[in-house]
Amino acid sequence: MTTLTCPAKINLYLAILEKDETGYHKLDTIFARLPEVTQKPDLLHVEPADHFEFHCESLPGQDNLVVKAVRLLESHAGRTFHYKITVEKHIPLQSGLGGGSSDAASLLLFLNQAENLGLTQETLMELGAQIGKDVPFFISGFQVARGTRYGDQITPLPTLPQALHIEIEEPFTPTSTAEAFSNWDKSLHEKAPSIEPMLAALHAQNPSAILAALHNDFEPIQIISDSPRQVRILAGSGGAHAVFCAADS
């Protein structure tokens, strides 16, 4: 049996741009993977079987992105894959932490190798984007990256400095991505601030500047304290919040 580790993510910056002709919003965002000490990752236990078998207590059916990943790759490869997959879920559903996308990305990478498909990372990212727009980020392997277009065009960025600490708040109110965008469409909103201060802060590895540049169009950030500097921000499009603290403040 193989166990795949599927980390969570957070959006350091998230700007919602115009809709395309299909009704999808374009985005400009910065993803960052969360370490296990901040958010325990999902685990996928995968083993060969006589037929496909899937187990996940929180989301057991065809709507699970893991199942969608298998079906998509089967269609692309022109054959079926026989595995027993058990999802050990730790990243909450509809939290904005990207658990489902991370699970799907890990399985796509595994199947590509286990089944000797020989697909390039670029092809896997293109396939993954059909499942979820966060999937390419997880496939990329980058710790921090900018996501443009729908968040699926990935450009690497410097990793987060060690002096920056992140904690995920519990409990939270689950919010689906569709619900979040629908609510945003109905609300009054201003143009997002420039992404450039966040890019500069990451390249300078300046924790305080990163905190000052945090942004999420779905919800204003909240300054909890100035000494030490603590900021509360929505993790993504879902309902979970994160508290950032700069140890050098």
Domains of the chain: 2-156 (3.30.230.10), 164-246 (3.30.70.890)
Q: How far apart are CA 133 and CA 147, in angstroms?
A: 9
Identify the pLDDT of residue 63.
84
Q: Which residues are catalytic?
A: 9, 134
pLDDT of 216 above 60: yes
pLDDT at 207: 94
Q: Average pLDDT in the 157-162 region?
A: 96
Whether 45 shows a pLDDT value over 60: the answer reads yes
How much is the average pLDDT of 214-237? 91
For the stretch 53-104, pLDDT in tens is 999 988 777 889 999 999 999 999 999 999 999 999 999 999 999 999 999 9
**78 token code pair:** 């022109």
The pLDDT of 127-155, averaged and rounded, is 96
* Mean model confidence pLDDT for the chain: 93
No. of helices (H) and no. of strands (E), the chain: 7, 13
> Average pLDDT for residues 186-208, to the nearest whole number?
92
Which of 212, 224, 206, 219 lies closest to 167 in space, CA to CA?
Answer: 224
CB contact set of 95 (below 8 Å; sequence gap of 6+): 172, 174, 235, 236, 238, 239, 240
